[in-house]
Amino acid sequence: MPIRQRINGFLLTSTLVFLGTLAPVHAEPKTFTGLATPIITSTLKYGFNDAYRGIITYTARPDQIVRGPTYNSKGEIINEGTLLIKMKTDYRKAIVDSLKAKVKQDEDTLNIAKIQYDRYKTLVKSRAVSVEQYNNWENQYLINVNQLAADKADLKVQEAVYEMCWLRAQYEAIVDEVYFPFGLPAAELAVMKISQLNPMGIEIKMNRETAWKVTSETPIAVYPVNSNKPVGIINTLINFTKDGLKLRVVNYQLPAVVSKKTHKPLPIVKVYPIAQLFAPYPDNEQTGVPVAALSNDDQGVYVWKGIGVKSLTPGVGSKNVFSVRKVYIKTEDIIHKIAGFAQYQKLQPTNKLKRGDLVVLDAPKNLKDNDEVCVNQHRYLFMPGDPVKVVIGK
């Protein structure tokens, strides 16, 4: 509607245009197919950029789910993150030890210089020594003070470099690929790629006109794979992509399996099978046990063996929940490394463990005979690459 008003003798005509909010999106709900896509994907480069490039001795395995550190209110680390890469430490440890010895020597030298400096400072007052002699010891004392400070600084640097021999995860992620599992790397070699799991991005393809209408007020429900129960999104974090939208959902780890006996959550463990060791053995009955499954007590070396479960049998599965038993074994001082992710130690001949028997890796400290464990993989509600149903509107 035109509005007329007179200002300073001039008749002005203007038209008011009322701009309302965008009309509610999708009067009828529309269904899209989204793709679970990590928000952060990192390629980890590793290796020392000096004369010593380092030797990688361990990497997390592909598809392993890793977690970041836990802190207290003071910012101190309570639990370190999952180990991703480990470097051989001998060289860096030798540098640290050498500098520690040098700092100790500097402290002793400084103590002697301080005694002489104080002594000459007294003697020069009675002219028992010359001013020149006093100045020489004063100068030597100051040189020793500075040398000690410089070597202490070098020690801190080398201790920090030594700590870099262990690279740990800083957030919940999955190991996508491992490019370099072990060996001598070039400087800053790409070793692995990891992808953040929580929160998880959900990418949806749609035309730009439709995408523009989606706001934080738009009702949106995301359905995980094989689930009729929807989850909500972080409404304030809706972003445009070149061909649609990216939503964000809080991603939860799937709940642990509950024991039918105790009605309590079962510990989730990793298990590996007892495997045959071939070369250099002509006898295929030679077997090995995963090094990570070995433990010690007063009676000797033992493993936790799964009761009534086996692996490596063609066409036969293995139970997810089973009981365990402590089995004492004897090993030989021969270790086979497989693809950089698993180390098997040769077993002495035994009837207690056979090819395909499952043993628990990194067993919980409170595990007892006949306790139940679960081997379900640590999985999250949304895993990278999941096709998910997204309903927009109501």
DSSP assignment of 254-267, as one string?
A: PPPPBPTTT-SBPP
Rounded to an integer, what distance in angstroms lies between the CA atom of residue 31 and that of residue 197? 24
Average pLDDT over residues 129-149: 93
Average pLDDT over residues 350-369: 91
What are 246's two structure tokens?
């990216």
User: How is residue 385 annotated by DSSP?
Assistant: T
Residues 6+ apart with CB under 8 A from 382: 36, 197, 200, 202, 224, 249, 251, 388
CA 190 from chain center: how many Å? 16
Query: Averaging pLDDT over each range in 38-42, 252-256, 285-289, which range is the top one?
Result: 38-42
pLDDT at 22 over 50: no
pLDDT band of 13, cuts 50, 70, 90: very low
What are 160's two structure tokens?
């920090």
What are 252's two structure tokens?
């939860």
User: How is residue 128 annotated by DSSP?
Assistant: S
**Contact (CB, 8 A) for 30 and 45:** no
Nearest by Cα to 372 from 296, 269, 302: 269
What are 178's two structure tokens?
């491992």
Residues 6+ apart with CB under 8 A from 169: 66, 67, 68, 81, 82, 84, 194
Rounded to an integer, what distance in angstroms lies between the CA atom of residue 158 and that of residue 52? 13
**Contact (CB, 8 A) for 388 and 34:** yes
What's phi and psi for 138, nearest 5 deg? -65, -45
Rounded to an integer, what distance in angstroms lies between the CA atom of residue 292 and that of residue 342? 8
H helix count then E strand count, the chain: 3, 27
Nearest by Cα to 307 from 360, 348, 254, 260: 360
Q: Before 280, cis peptide (omega within 30)?
A: yes
| 2-7 own/partner pairs: CB under 8 Å, 24+ apart | none
End-to-end CA distance of the chain: 35
What's the confidence (pLDDT) of residue 11? 40
CATH topology of domain 40-88+165-196: OB fold (Dihydrolipoamide Acetyltransferase, E2P) (2.40.50)
What are 377's two structure tokens?
């993989």
CATH number for 97-156 (one of 1.10.569.10, 3.40.50.300, 1.10.287.470, 2.60.40.1510): it is 1.10.287.470
Higher per-residue pLDDT: 8 or 123: 123
Q: Which of 195-204, 369-378, 379-388 has the lowest mean pLDDT?
A: 369-378
pLDDT digits (tens, 9 = 90+) for 320-348: 999 999 999 999 988 887 755 678 899 98
pLDDT digits (tens, 9 = 90+) for 228-268: 999 999 999 999 999 999 999 999 888 778 888 888 888 88
SS3 state of residue 145:
helix
pLDDT at 24 over 80: no
Amino acid at 295: S
Q: Before 267, cis peptide (omega within 30)?
A: no
What's the confidence (pLDDT) of residue 49? 81
Q: Provide the H-helix boundaries in the chain.
A: 90-125, 131-163, 208-212
Rounded to an integer, what distance in angstroms lies between the CA atom of residue 19 and that of residue 118? 85
Give strand pairing partners of 44.
192
What's phi and psi for 36, nearest 5 deg? -70, 115
**Contact (CB, 8 A) for 67 and 176:** no
Cβ-based neighbour number of residue 87 at 10 Å: 22
What's the confidence (pLDDT) of residue 284? 55
Cβ-based neighbour number of residue 39 at 10 Å: 15
Higher per-residue pLDDT: 113 or 341: 113
- The CA-atom distances, in angstroms, between 1 and each of 4, 7, 14, 18 are 10, 19, 8, 10
What are 148's two structure tokens?
């000690």
What are 253's two structure tokens?
């780890």
